[in-house]
Structures are given as C-alpha cells and as structure tokens.
Structure 1
Amino acid sequence: MGTASKRRIRGTGLVAGALVAGTVAAATPGTAGAAEAARCAPGRTAPAYTCAQPGDLVAPALEELRPTQAVLGHDEVYYKLGRYRSDKDAAAGGFNKRFDDWCEANGQGEAASVRPDARLDDPSTFTCTVPLGQETEESVEPMKTAVVGPGGQLYLTDGHHTLTSFLESPDGGPRARVRLRVTDNFSDLSPAAFWQRMRAENKVWLRDADGREITVGRLPERLGLASFQDDPYRSLVYFTRDIGYAVPDHAPEFLEYQWGSWLRPELSLDGRDLDDPAAYLALVKDASRRMTALAPDAVVADGRTAAQLGRLAAWNDGKKETGGEFAKLGRPLTDAKPGKLAYALDFKKDVARTPACTTTLTGTHNGPLVVNRGVTCLDRASVRGPVTVRPSAVLVATGARVEGPVRADGAAGVQLCGTSVTGPLAVTGATGPVRVGGTGCTGNRITGPVQLVNNTGPVAFTANEVTGPLICSGNTTGVDTTPRPNTVRGPATGQCAHH
C-alpha cells in the first residue's frame, strides 16, 4: 500500500476501540473535476463525503447508505443472524463471528479481544488484530466498497448482505458504523449521468427477484431485510461456495447474481422445501454439480464464462461427499460447529410468515387507502394519504412509505417491516398478529404517536424509532419488545413502559 493510501486511512476511520474523528483527505489535482476541486479547496465546506477520493476510507452509519441492488438472498442473511445469536463460537473457544465479520469489513483483520458486554454499535468494547494505521493490502482488500454520488451521497456497491446483517443484529442497528473503501467519486455528475456511469461500469444490479430488469427508481432507499426482495437463487449460490465455485481473485461485480441468473432456468425450485435441511442440502448438491459440469469456457451470464466466475474443476474441490465444504455445510445445529444451512434454517423458523397477499400495491398511491377485506400488501410502495384497515382485514407493509396516519380497528392482522410512517399509528382491537418490527422484520420509523391498545392477538413492537408518545395497554398477551429495544423520543407508558 502506498503512502497516499495510508494518509487517507488516517483521515477518518471507525476502529475497534475508538471512533477516530477527522476529515476525508481533500481532492488532489487530477483526481476530481473542477467543480469538485473548488468545493474541496482548503477552507471550503462541502457536503458529507463529497471530497472522498478512491482509496479513502469513510465511516458512515448504516442508515446513511443507499443500496445499488433491489434483491438479497435472505437465507444468507438468516445464516449470519443465526450464527450471530448463537454461543457456539464462544463455546469452541473463539469469538462470535459478528466481531470477526466487523473487523474484516473495517479493514482490521479479525477480532482480537471481546468484552462480555461487547456490541457491534460500540466498537470500544472489542479490538481487532490489525490496529488503525497498520492496515495492509491484505487487510484492506476484503473491505466493502462505496461510490460517492451526487450531493455526496454514498452508494454501497459491495457488502449488502453483511451490512444488512449488522443492521438487523440486536446489537447493531441503523446507527452502527463500519468503514468502507471508496472506489469512485462521481459527485460532480447529474443524477442521470451518475446512473449511466454506474450501469456502464457494472456497479449496479438492476434486476428483481425473478431476474427481470428494473429501473433505478425501483432501488431501495436504505438497508434492511424489508428493503430487499428475496432472491432464493442468490442464497442457493452462496451455499454452493467452495463446492461448485470459489470466488476468484479480482472477481467480477455481482458474481453470485450471475451464477443465479444461469441457475434460474436450469433448476426449478418448484416443490423444493427450503425449510427442510435435507431437501436444501440436496438442492445445493444438485446446483453445485451442474456448475462444475460446465466447460470452463461456457458462457454463464452477461458474457462471463464459468472459469471467470470461479467454477471449480472438480465438485467439492475433489473431496468426497463426506468431506470438504459440502460436509461442513450439512452439519446439524447439534454439532459443535454447525453448518451454514443449520444456522440459516434455525433462524428462519423464528421469522413470522407473511400471509398471502390478495391485493399488492407497488409504486405510488396518491390519496387515502382503505383496506376493506383480505390481505393488502404494500410492497416497497409509497402511500400519500391516510391508511385505514377495517375489521377482519389485514395490512402488510414491507419497505413502504406512508405519508399520513395509519389506523387499524378490529383488524385480523397488521405487519409493518422497514416502513416509514409520517403520522400517528394506532392499532386497536386486532384479533390476529400485530407485528411492527421483530425477528427478520426490519424496524420502522414512525414520526407521530403510537397506540397499541386492546389487541387480542400476539403483539410485537421491536427495533422501531418513534418520534412521539408510545402507549401500550390492554393487549392480551402483552407486548414483545425483544430482541432489540425501540428508540422512543417521547413518553412510553403501559405495557411498553420499558420498551
């Protein structure tokens, strides 16, 4: 690593043991446009991250990042979250993997020490093997990456699964920070020119969970499971790693998605039980054998060949089915070192199933929305007006935005995950589940008072940010506020007094 890179690393950084304050290194001649150079001149004040240059390390809060893809493999995130909540790593004499993952993502190797009360959102509670200022090319290489866009906005280009796992972790959250390596600064471009450049350089994945092309307007605004559609083929490819393929040096962007695009027409998931360990393992075996059966020069997707995407010459890297990565993958949860599938499916069983939608809204809905019957789903939709849920009806809002009050009286169910509500939220007399945040359900932002009153079904209210009073009373089963508490800027009373 050159001297300039080390200087930039010292500019600003979040490190285990301390939050290092400072400024990003100013743009140097030849690295920025004239307008950007003027903004970043000494003594001038520029928007956040505008002056960050390739090689700089910046330390944003997770809530500051904009995704560059609309889908995730949810089962991969479930694996990480399942392992993060487990004590198996500590029982084996190590540290919980979330601290290793954070240190690696922060350019600092692995966890070196972890206090009993250590938390991801407080890096002073653990240390990493590579101290700040002593980073090497090897320690910086696996860091997640970002591009600076118009207005100094940071766009995450690698690490959506890992950083979403940090955000969803009970000791993480949207305000947790981790360093990113800046690869490009396109802040002097117009929005249209920015996205044209991002597409040209393959720094954005514009496909939905079914592999269909989408526009940049369909990209989510923030991280969190609820922000992303679930692409099961992306998870499947993740579990075939080092069995059917290995990530090559200088891997192309979106490598796993390209493998997933190839698998989609090759291997149907219809009738596959992705909640059953044996069935899932058999699917991984089938998919990975198809990958290694390809000729090295076979085109997989987007002009990339199997060799370029890391195809292994022999299935399971030449090892028997009872050995290698395949055997590790299938280890049960009772094993001292469970496999990834066991962790993923154990966590997945605790994620409440979303009821089947009878009506699905996407895009923008202007005016009042009344849910009279059935199950109405807001799928990353925007509603500009009040939302009313009538008795016996169900509302499911996932990654949505509501500009107006939400009121449900006698509903058969209400579920809000990763949704922003500008206005009061009142759920009273619900006969079915009320779920506002929770395991596998991203916390919500509610700007207004919240009332959860006299509901007879189970009520969960977890990891939410509320600006206003929180009133919970008369709920038959109480209110579950685990595993991560809510942030309430206002009085919290009744069953939510300790939120």
Structure 2
Amino acid sequence: MRFIYGCVGLALMVSSPLSTAKNQINSVPLGIIQVNLADLHPTQPAVGDRQISYKVQRYHYEPKKMFDDYCEATGAVAVKSFNRQSTLRNLQSFQCQENFGTQPNAMKTVVKAPDGQFYLTDGHHFVSQIMKVSGADTPLFVYLTHDYSQLKDMTTFAEEMQKQQLVWLNYQNQTVKFSELPEHVTVDDLKNDEYRSLMYFLREVAFKKPNQAAPFYEFYLAEWISKKVPLSTLNLSNKIDYAVALKNIGKAMIQSPSDEVVAVIHGKKYTVRDMGIYQKFNENEYKKLFAPTGKVTYAFSEK
C-alpha cells in the first residue's frame, strides 16, 4: 500500500476568509488527497435516491447540517463557524472544528486506478448529495487507501477490487460488470435502489449496524429483504404509503429467525443475529421519521 499527497487542480476564490481557515487546508497529513467531486468514479451501480432527497431537503432548511456533514466527512469533526456567504466550493469561507484529515477513519475513501483516476470506495450517498447542492467543482479531501496505479490494466484492477471487496457489482439481484458502472457519482448517473433507501430509514428501527460489519452491509440487507418483500408489493410514491412500506419491511426483518442466513460473503455466513437485526420493532424511532423535522418528512418535501 502506498499513500499519495497532492491536489487535483483547484482554484479557491476568497471573498471574506475566516481568520484561521487556511490552517485547516495547509495542515493536511500524508495519505489525504484533495479532489473535485467530478474527479471521483463510482464502485457501485446504485444509491438510494430517497435517502439523498432527505439530505438535500434538510440542507435547504438547515444549512448548518450541510457544513457539519462536510466537515465530518473530511475528518474535521463538525463545523465551527460559517455565514451566509459560506460555500463548500470555497474552503476558506467556513471553518471546521479541526483541520481536514484530523480523523482519517471518518473520511470518505478512494483508490487510484491504472488509468490514473480515483475510484470512490465509501461515500457514494454523501458525494451524490453534495454534488446536487454544491456542484461538480466542489473540492473534497478524501483518504487514499490503495494505490493500484501500477497494475497492468483496468481488467486486472477490476479483479483486484472484487478480491479486496472494494466494489459492489449487483443491482436488483442481477450482476453488473465493472465496465458497466457509470462515469460519475451523481443521482443522475447512478441507478436508484429503493431498498437501499428503505434500509437507511430503518436504522435504529429494525436493526443496528454492528461495530464489525460486513462490507456493503446495507446492500446485503437490502438484497436479502427484497426477496422477502418484493418491490411489486410496495407503493413508495408518497409519504403515507412509504410509512406502510417501512413498517412492513421492518416487521419482516425482525420476524426472521435469528439463525437465518442473510448473506454469504467469501464463504462466511452472516445470520440475522450477525447483521444486528432487532427482535423487536422500535416504534419510537419509527415515529420520529414522520415528525415535522423527521427524515421521511424531509424526504417527501422536495418540490
């Protein structure tokens, strides 16, 4: 494994910089690279559009959340200060609590391919939602975990990515070729996986992600539950029916035997118990989703 520190062409236009904002850019540790969102390529074919709609709408009503999420995703904990002129396209227009890269374990991750391009291995939903609210030229500090630029070709790269479990090549229970993945990480380029959104909203309602979770944890959950509750039985077009769908899916999850196998990953079986699925549906957390500022309420407020 080899780490790279560098920047991909970024010009910062400074109008009213915060006094210590430059420090958070200049104090980035090795292993962290700065790219624009447009420079990132996906390693999965789909995201949950409804999940992204929730975040986009919440950012509209609560701008601080957008800066908090950005600072967290860049290893800088949370936002410290920002104003009406602050924008994610200008890293000197707001300040995080720590320097970028201070907490690398919280950062979105990438690998470098033989073609010199960067492939995102964690953070497709985050990048998609920031793309939507801030644009393709938004800069982002990411953590480079693997440098595969010395591999002989992209075919070898794709094989290594699968071997290392750094790519998800399934959509609606069908295999997708690495070469068929879209060019960019946006909601327009990536397909919509309804079950991936449903799993997001059912966090803490029907399951809790284990500390040592399987790679692509929620995709495996989504794939498993889609066979129990087919998409054709669900109406996901409005908030009321979405609430019914969430409850039906959540109940189907918790009613499954604790020793039922959810996924087999590289020969290892992961059961309902292993996947952190609850034995009881959490009604209180479920109700929070539909409060005036609940996640599902925001998700269906898009005009």
Q: Settle same-fold status: TM greater than 0.5.
A: yes
Helix, strand or coil at the partner of 2:80: strand
2:37 partner amino acid = L
For structure 2, the 5+ residue unaligned runs are 11-17
Instruction: Structure 1 unaligned segments of length 5 or more: list them.
Output: 1-7, 26-55, 90-94, 351-499
Within 1, Cα distance between the matches of 2:50 and 2:234?
15
Q: How many residues align?
A: 287
In structure 2, what is the equivalent of residue 211 of structure 1? 173
Q: 2:270 aligns with which of 304, 307, 331?
A: 304
For residues 32-431 of structure 1, the aligned pairs below 5 Å read 56-86=31-61, 89=62, 96-132=64-100, 135=102, 139-169=103-133, 172-189=134-151, 190-208=153-171, 210-270=172-232, 272-302=234-264, 303-316=269-282, 321=283, 323=284, 325-331=285-291, 335=292, 338-347=293-302, 350=303
Give the alignment's TM-score, normalised by structure 2: 0.86
Q: Which residue of 2 aligns with 1:33?
A: none
User: What displacement does 1:309 show?
Assistant: 2.5
What's the % identity of the aligned pairs? 30
Summarize the Cα distance change of 1:271–1:293 in structure 2 as closer, same or farther, 3 Å threshold.
Answer: closer
The higher radius of gyration belongs to 1
Deviations 1:231-283 (A, max 9, x none): 11111111111111112223222111101111111112325331321211121
Whole-angstrom CA distance in 2 between matches of 1:341 and 1:65:
28
Residue 307 to residue 63, structure 1, CA distance change in 2 (3 Å): same
Deviation of 1:292 after TM superposition, in Å, equals 2.2
TM-score normalised by L of structure 1: 0.54
Q: Which residue of 1 aligns with 2:14?
A: none
- Name the CA distance, whole Å, in 2 between partners of 1:271 and 1:306: 23
User: What do residues 204-249 of structure 1 show as CA deviations (whole Å, max 9, x unaligned)?
Assistant: 11122x2211111210111111111111111111111111111222
| Cα deviation 1:141-182 (Å, max 9, x = unaligned) | 22111111113321101100111100110xx11110111112
Measure, in 2, the Cα distance between the counterparts of 1:191 and 1:256: 27
SS in structure 1 of the partner of residue 249 of structure 2: helix
- C-alpha deviations, 1:428-468, integer Å up to 9, x for none? xxxxxxxxxxxxxxxxxxxxxxxxxxxxxxxxxxxxxxxxx
Opposite residue 82 of structure 1, the aligned amino acid is: Q
Shift of 1:101: 0.7
Looking at both structures, which has the greater relative contact order when contacts are Cα pairs under 8 Å and sequence separation is at least 6?
2
The 1:204–1:10 alpha-carbon spacing in structure 2 relative to 1, beyond 3 Å, is: closer
More strand per residue:
1
Which residue identity lines up with residue 85 of structure 1 in the other structure? Answer: H
Q: Give the root-mean-square deviation of aligned CA atoms.
A: 2.7
- Partners of 1:248 and 1:11 in 2: how far apart? 34
Instruction: Find the counterpart in structure 2 of residue 424 from structure 1.
Output: none
Q: CA 1:306–1:142 in structure 2 vs 1: closer, same or farther (change >3 Å)?
A: farther
* Matched residue type, 2:58: R
The question of whether the paired residues in 2 share the 8 Å contact of 1:24 and 1:58 is answered with no
Change (3 A) 1:187 1:22: farther
| Alpha-carbon distance, 1:118 to partner | 1.4
Whole-angstrom distance in 2 between the partners of 1:119 and 1:159: 20
